[in-house]
Amino acid sequence: MLFLGCSKNMHRSTVIPCFAASVRKLRSGLGISQEELAERADLHRTYIAGIERGARNPTLLTIKKLAKGLGVSSADLLSEAKCNR
């Protein structure tokens, strides 16, 4: 099943790993730990770890919190999730 607005290459099996990689890349680029991001985003550190492993499927509200913690807009965070898999 494809999501509306997503290409054939961007389906369920790739969306979560791509998002996970984007969060990890942006966090690493800021030079902050998962714990620091969790604090900034008002989330638990183990939840951040789960997102970065691709084990979690975050809600829109969580994406908004992550974006704020990373200093980017939600749209920018989601646009970073484009990857070539």
- Residue 83: per-residue pLDDT: 67
Taking the domains of the chain in order of start, what are their residue ranges? 12-79
- The pLDDT of residue 49: 98
- One-letter identity of residue 4: L
Residue 7, pLDDT > 80, answer: no
Q: Which residues contact 70 (CB under 8 A, 6 or more apart)?
A: 23, 26, 27, 30, 37, 40, 41, 77
> Can you give the pLDDT at residue 8?
52
Q: What integer best gives the mean pLDDT of the chain?
A: 87
In the prediction, which pLDDT does 14 show? 85
Task: Please choose, from the candidates 28, 29, 23, the residue with its C-alpha nearest in 3D space to the C-alpha of residue 81.
Answer: 23
Span 53-70, mean pLDDT?
Answer: 97
In this structure, whether the domain defined by 12-79 belongs to CATH 3.10.20.30 is answered with: no
